[in-house]
């Protein structure tokens, strides 16, 4: 009887829990059994491992082989354990020194030829391995991704034979991160006119506020939304690494040359609730988590399923989405900046000066009623985007400021917020509003009168205060004035029945 232990990592949400692979060789008829809650792809690894060992000129033991993936109650999925299982069998059969495996963790799927294939979740595995002081060995395809964990010792290999030959000499090459490539983003200079919408976009970027654009078809709502990433402050290294970790676990992979850029996600309105918030038998992050620390753009908001939109309510407040399954619950970070766009009515022309809209008042109310009041409550800025005159769209018409100019003001205002409270204004807690958003008596009466007249909730009132604080920061004012508060109140146009 012979026992070998090998370390690897599973994938659970955005985490990489440790898995200890125990390989026991004993007497009896030749048989290989894998236990420890493996799904089909894990059970099939015994056939992949057998072929890979034979192809690499190793001997596959003709004995009873029991492979235990501990802890037993953690679900195991995919081919990520192939390399570790193969090394465990070699160590248990004394074809390699089992003492050499103690300080390593292994992650990779084996081809029948013994070549290593990449798997998802390599980045969180590298971060977790570094915390325990172990060296992580991955396939070459995962090297650039795993190297984003700067304090981790990550080595890359192309084949099983290469891993076995290099264990003692530690001669495997280190993983190298790809150089970051500047990302060309659309420029705000492309937007003609729309001064109020441009101003709202700047306020939203400065304070991290959610934004709703309401206007007729073709007025520039999508054009404006796509310019938001170009005026946002750069993501910090911690934020970028957190976002990259989510992408690593999504199954879609990471563009390692652009991992420092904030994500911009624009799912189609036919997307399901699961694709938006995450889920599945083995839960993966959805669109709102892939947009973490970035922008989520939802076009044609009333065309989305009501049920799908309602699942956004909790993440918009907490910045986290909980995906519960029968066995366990996974938490996915989802602190995104929402930009939504919608038409004012079914035909799209309510409130337009052309007067072409023939929708009844009831039809308009039903159309807008597809978006619940609690969801609108959570959107800080509601802005009407009017249709421009043809002359304003001419190539020689005056252009507004470019993204670089606006971004400089946004970065200045965001730095003020970080120095004051350590967070963007949109994330201020109600208990922090008294300290950072205090009003004088006259302005307090103005706010209360607006809340009463517009029939706003306490949540909406708090969001008005946060927006007013951002407007004051953009003006480099330490105190919120009447002008700042009035501008913030003016951004609740849907509450006031804007655009028809």
Q: What percent of the chain has pLDDT over 90?
A: 75
Which of 50-59, 280-289, 290-299, 461-470 is the least confident region?
A: 280-289
The mean per-residue pLDDT over the stretch 282-302 comes to 94
Q: Cβ distance 11 to 39 under 8 Å? A: no
Q: pLDDT-based confidence at 182, cuts 50/70/90?
A: confident
- Residue 91: the pLDDT is 96
Q: pLDDT-based confidence at 495, cuts 50/70/90?
A: low
The torsion angle over the Cα atoms of residues 163, 108, 136 and 86, rounded to 10 degrees, is -50
Mean pLDDT of all residues in 224-248: 94
Give the C-alpha distances (Å, rounded to integers) separating 264 from 97, 125, 243.
Answer: 48, 25, 12
Instruction: Give the pLDDT confidence score for residue 390 in this predicted structure.
Output: 79
Q: What is the pLDDT of residues 243-268, one digit of tens each?
A: 999 999 998 888 888 898 999 999 99
State both tokens at 496. Answer: 């006031």
**CATH fold of the domain at 188-490:** Rossmann fold (3.40.50)
pTM for this predicted structure: 0.90
pLDDT band for position 298 (cuts 50, 70, 90): very high
Query: Quick one: average pLDDT of 184-197?
Result: 86
pLDDT at 382 over 80: yes
Taking a C-beta distance cutoff of 8 angstroms, is the pair 176, 143 a contact? yes
| Planar angle of CA 272, 276, 278, nearest 5 degrees | 105
Domain range summary for the chain, segments of one domain joined by +: 2-166, 188-490
pLDDT confidence of residue 354: 81
Confidence band for 326, pLDDT divided at 50, 70 and 90: low
Cα atoms found within 13 Å of the Cα of residue 189, Cβ hemisphere only: 11
Q: What is the mean pLDDT of the chain?
A: 92
What confidence tens digit (pLDDT) does each residue in 418-465 have? 999 999 999 999 889 988 999 999 999 999 999 998 888 899 999 999
Amino acid 398: pLDDT: 73
Closest residue by Cα to residue 317 from 438, 204, 422, 429? 429
Band (281; pLDDT cuts 50, 70, 90): confident
Q: What CATH number matches the domain at 2-166, 3.90.1110.10, 3.30.230.10, 1.20.58.100, 3.40.50.620?
A: 3.30.230.10
| pLDDT greater than 60 at residue 497 | no
Per-residue pLDDT tens for 11-51?
A: 998 999 999 999 999 988 999 999 999 999 999 999 999 99
Residue 500 has pLDDT above 70, yes or no: no
pLDDT digits (tens, 9 = 90+) for 390-408: 777 777 677 788 899 999 9
The span from the CA of 286 to the CA of 264, in Å, is 13
């Amino acid at each position: 009887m012979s026992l070998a232990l090998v370390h690897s990592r599973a994938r659970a949400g955005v985490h990489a829990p440790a898995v200890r692979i125990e390989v026991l060789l004993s007497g009896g008829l030749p048989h290989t059994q894998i236990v420890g809650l493996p799904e089909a792809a894990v059970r099939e690894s015994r056939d992949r491992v057998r072929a890979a060992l034979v192809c690499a000129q190793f001997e596959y033991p003709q004995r009873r082989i029991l492979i235990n993936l501990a802890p037993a109650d953690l679900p195991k999925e995919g081919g990520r354990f192939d390399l570790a299982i193969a090394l465990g069998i070699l160590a248990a059969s004394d074809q390699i020194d089992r003492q050499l495996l103690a300080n390593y963790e292994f992650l990779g799927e084996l081809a029948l030829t013994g070549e290593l294939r990449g798997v998802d979740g390599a980045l969180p595995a590298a971060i977790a391995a570094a915390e325990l002081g172990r060296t992580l060995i991955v396939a070459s395809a995962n090297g650039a991704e795993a190297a984003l964990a700067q304090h981790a010792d990550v080595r890359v290999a192309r084949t099983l034979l290469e891993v076995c030959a290099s264990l003692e000499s530690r001669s495997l090459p280190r993983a190298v991160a790809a150089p970051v490539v500047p990302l060309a983003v659309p420029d705000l200079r492309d937007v003609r006119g729309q001064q109020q919408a441009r101003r709202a976009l700047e306020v939203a970027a400065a304070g991290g506020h959610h934004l709703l654009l309401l206007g007729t078809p073709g007025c520039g709502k999508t054009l404006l939304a796509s310019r938001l990433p170009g005026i946002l402050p750069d993501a910090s290294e911690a934020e970028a690494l957190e976002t990259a970790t989510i992408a690593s676990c999504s199954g879609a992979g990471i563009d390692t040359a652009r991992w420092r850029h904030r994500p911009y996600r624009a799912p189609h309105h036919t997307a399901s609730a699961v694709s938006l918030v995450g889920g599945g038998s083995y839960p993966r992050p959805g669109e709102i988590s892939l947009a973490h620390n970035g922008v989520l753009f939802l076009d044609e908001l009333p065309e989305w399923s009501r049920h799908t939109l309602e699942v956004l309510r909790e993440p918009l407040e907490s910045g986290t989405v909980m995906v519960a399954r029968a066995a366990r619950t996974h938490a996915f970070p989802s602190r995104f900046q929402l930009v939504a766009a919608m038409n004012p009515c079914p035909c799209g022309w309510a409130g337009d000066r052309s007067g072409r809209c023939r929708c009844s008042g009831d039809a308009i109310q039903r159309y807008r009623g597809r978006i619940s009041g609690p969801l609108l409550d959570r959107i800080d800025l509601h802005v009407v985007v009017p249709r421009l005159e043809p002359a304003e769209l001419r190539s020689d018409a005056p252009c507004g400021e470019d993204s670089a100019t606006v971004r400089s003001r946004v970065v200045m205002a965001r730095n003020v917020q970080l120095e004051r409270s350590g967070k963007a204004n949109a994330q201020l807690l109600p208990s922090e509003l008294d300290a950072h958003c205090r009003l004088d008596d006259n302005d307090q009466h103005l706010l209360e009168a607006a809340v009463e007249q517009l029939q706003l909730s306490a949540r909406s009132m708090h969001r008005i205060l946060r927006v007013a604080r951002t407007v004051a920061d953009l003006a480099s004012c330490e105190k919120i004035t009447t002008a700042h508060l009035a501008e913030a109140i003016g951004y609740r146009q849907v509450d006031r029945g804007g655009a028809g």
